[in-house]
Chains A and B, each alone.
Chain A
Amino acid sequence: MSHHIVQADNLNYTYPDGTIGINNISFKITHGESVALVGANGAGKSTLLLHLNGCLISTQGEISIGDYPLNKKNIKAVRRSVGMVFQNPDDQLFMPTVFDDVAFGPINLGLPENQVEQRVTHALETVGATHLINRPPYKLSGGEKRAVAIATILACSPDILVMDEPSSNLDPLSRRRLIKLLKSFEHTKIIATHDLDMALDVCQRTIVLHKGKITADGPTISIFNDEELLARSGLEKPLGMQECPICKKNNPKNQILFYNKKPR
C-alpha cells in the first residue's frame, strides 16, 4: 500500500536557460487519491508532472514515490509504478501498429509472450479499443488515439496514473467517455488539466499552481467556489458551477449538498 504514496518536499526546478519551472513545491498524495493539478498556461503543471517519474530531476528538494526518494538508481522501479499519459498522443504512439505500441511497455518489462498479449488485450478492452488492435496509430481519430495512449500505460499496470491534459482536443462524447473511464480506475491519479469541469467530476482534491508555486491545495469543490483565488491564479469557475447564461438559474453544483449527483 505504502508505495502508492507520492510525496514532494520543497521541489525546485530551473530550466537551463534560467526560467523557473517550479518553485518550492510540497505535497503528499496518498493511495487511491485523485488529484487535479490546475493553473494557467505556463504555471508549471507539465514541469511538475515530468518530475513524478524522473523525466526531469529537480534542482533542489526531492520527490519520493512510495518509500523511496526518486533518484537515478531506482528510476526504473519508479517508472514501473508511475504511468504517464502525455498531452499529445502522437508523442506516445510511436510504433507501427496499436498492438506493437501497447505491447512496447510489457515487452520492456520482460514479460513472456503470452502475458504480453494478455496485457495488451486487457488494456485495450478497458479503454474500449479492442477493434483498433491492428491499425496504425496515424489512422486513428483523436479520441481513439487518446484511448490507445491510455491503454499503453495501463498495459504496464502502474499503481499511479499521471496524465497531462487528458481531455484536450476531444469531442464532447469522447470526453464524457474518458471521464467515465477515469472514474472507473482505482489507481492513484494525478491529472493536470484546464478542464475544470472534468476535474470537478473526477478529482476530490485539487492543487492550484501559479507561476511555479502552489497557491491552494484542498477539496476541489471548495477551491472552485473561491472565486477570488481562481481569478488570482488565472482561472475561472467551472462552467458547471456557473449561473446558466440563458435560464439564469444557478447550477445545483454550486451547493455542496448536490455535488455527488451527475449533471443532467
Chain B
Amino acid sequence: MHMADALLSPAVGGTMWAATAGLIVYCSKKVREDLDEKKIPLMGVIGAFIFAAQMINFTIPATGSSGHLGGAMILAILLGPYAAFLTMASVLTVQALFFADGGLLALGCNIVNMGFFPCFICYPLIYKTIVKGRLTPKWITTGAIISAIIGLQLGAFSVVLETFFSGISALPFSHFLLLMQPIHLAIGIVEGLTTAAVVIFIWKSRPEILQPSISVVQGPGPDQEYSIKKVFIGFAAAAIIVGCGLSWFASAHPDGLEWAISKTTGMEELGAPQKNLYSSLTAIQEKTAFLPDYGFKTTKENPITDTKKAWPAVDSGTSVSGLVGGLLTLCLAIFIGFIIKRKKTGQTA
C-alpha cells in the first residue's frame, strides 16, 4: 500500500512529511536516551532482515496467491515502538529510493501509514493490552492478528484519506474505501498470522530475546505511560496541522466532505449517472481548486455554480496552442538533450 507521488498534492505530502520528521526527531531522541547501544546494530540488521523476509513468501492455500511478512508489528514487538518506528522509516526510505516503491514526497505518508499506526497505536494500545505479559501462543496469536488487522485497516484508511484530499485521483472516496479496506483485511490476516507465528517461533526457541519486552509489558511504569502520552501529543499536533489544512480546504469548498459522506452512505445513487457525474465533477473541481495553481485562494463564492466557469482556468481554452506548444517543447527538450550528448561524446572522444 505504498502511496505514489503522482497521486499526492504537495499540501498533503508536505503535512505528512512534517509529521514524519517530527516523529523521527522524537524517536531518535528516545532511542538515544534509551542508552542501549546494543540496539544500534540490532535495529540496522533487523531492518535488513525485513527486506529479506519480504522476499521470502509462502503459498496461501486455495487462493493461488502468496503471502509474506509485512514487518512493522514484528519490529514493534522485538524492538519497542520508538526503535521500530525508526527502523520501519528506514526500510521505507530505501524502498522509495531504490525500488521507487512510493515516491520521495509520498515517503511521509508511507511512513505514517505503515510505521506510525502499527508502532504507536496498535502495539501499545492493542497488542500490549491483549497480551499483558501472558506470553502464550494463544494470546500472542490473538494480539498479533488483531493488531495487524487494525494496523493495516488504519493504514489503508489513511491512504484513502490522503488520496482523497490530494484530489488527483477521480476515484470517489467511498469507492476507493470499499476497494482498499477489504483487500487490507485479507492482507492484515496474513500479516497477523505470520507475525504471530514468527513471534511464537522466537519465543519457543529463544525466550530470552522476548524477555526484555516482557518486563516492559508486565510493568508499564508511569514513565512508559507518560512517553506514549507524549507521542499522542505529538501526533495530535500533527493532526492539528493536517486539520488546519483540511479546514482550509473545507471552508473553501464546504460541500466536498458532505458529498463524500453522502456518497458513502448512498451507493444506489450510482443508478443516477447524471447526478453522480455532476456531483463528482463538483468534488473534483473543488479539489483542484485547492491546488496551489489557483494560488490557494480561499474563494468562498459558491464553487458549484462556478464550476462551468472554472474550467477555462485550466488549459482547455488554449488547447490547440497548448498542444502545438507542448509538442514543440518536447522537441526542444530532446534537442537540448541531443546537443549535450553530442558535446559529451565529443569531449570523451
Contact = CB atoms under 8 A, between A and B. Distances in A.
| Direct contact, A vs B (beta carbon within 8 Å) | yes
Interface of A: 16, 94
Interface of B: 41, 44, 208
Contacts of A94: 41, 44
Nearest to A94: B41
B209 to A, nearest CB: 12
B208 A16 contact: yes
A16 B44 CA distance: 26
Contacts of A16: 208
Nearest to B40: A94
Nearest to B45: A94
Nearest to A16: B208
Nearest to B207: A17
A86 to B, nearest CB: 13
3 contacts: A16-B208, A94-B41, A94-B44
A110 B197 CA distance: 46
B37 to A, nearest CB: 12
A94 B41 CA distance: 9
Contacts of B208: 16
Contacts of B44: 94
A136 to B, nearest CB: 14
A17 B116 CA distance: 36
A54 to B, nearest CB: 15
A90 to B, nearest CB: 10
Nearest to B41: A94
A94 B44 CA distance: 10
B41 to A, nearest CB: 7
A19 to B, nearest CB: 13
B93 to A, nearest CB: 15
Contacts of B41: 94
The 3 A-B pairs of least Cβ separation, nearest first, read A16-B208, A94-B41, A94-B44
A63 B208 CA distance: 27
Nearest to A91: B41
A76 B58 CA distance: 47
A16 B208 CA distance: 9
Nearest to B208: A16
A94 B311 CA distance: 57
A94 B42 CA distance: 12
A16 B209 CA distance: 12
Nearest to B206: A17
Nearest to B44: A94
A167 B74 CA distance: 37
A16 B206 CA distance: 11
B109 to A, nearest CB: 28
Nearest to A17: B208
A75 to B, nearest CB: 14
B228 to A, nearest CB: 31
A145 B65 CA distance: 40
A16 B211 CA distance: 13
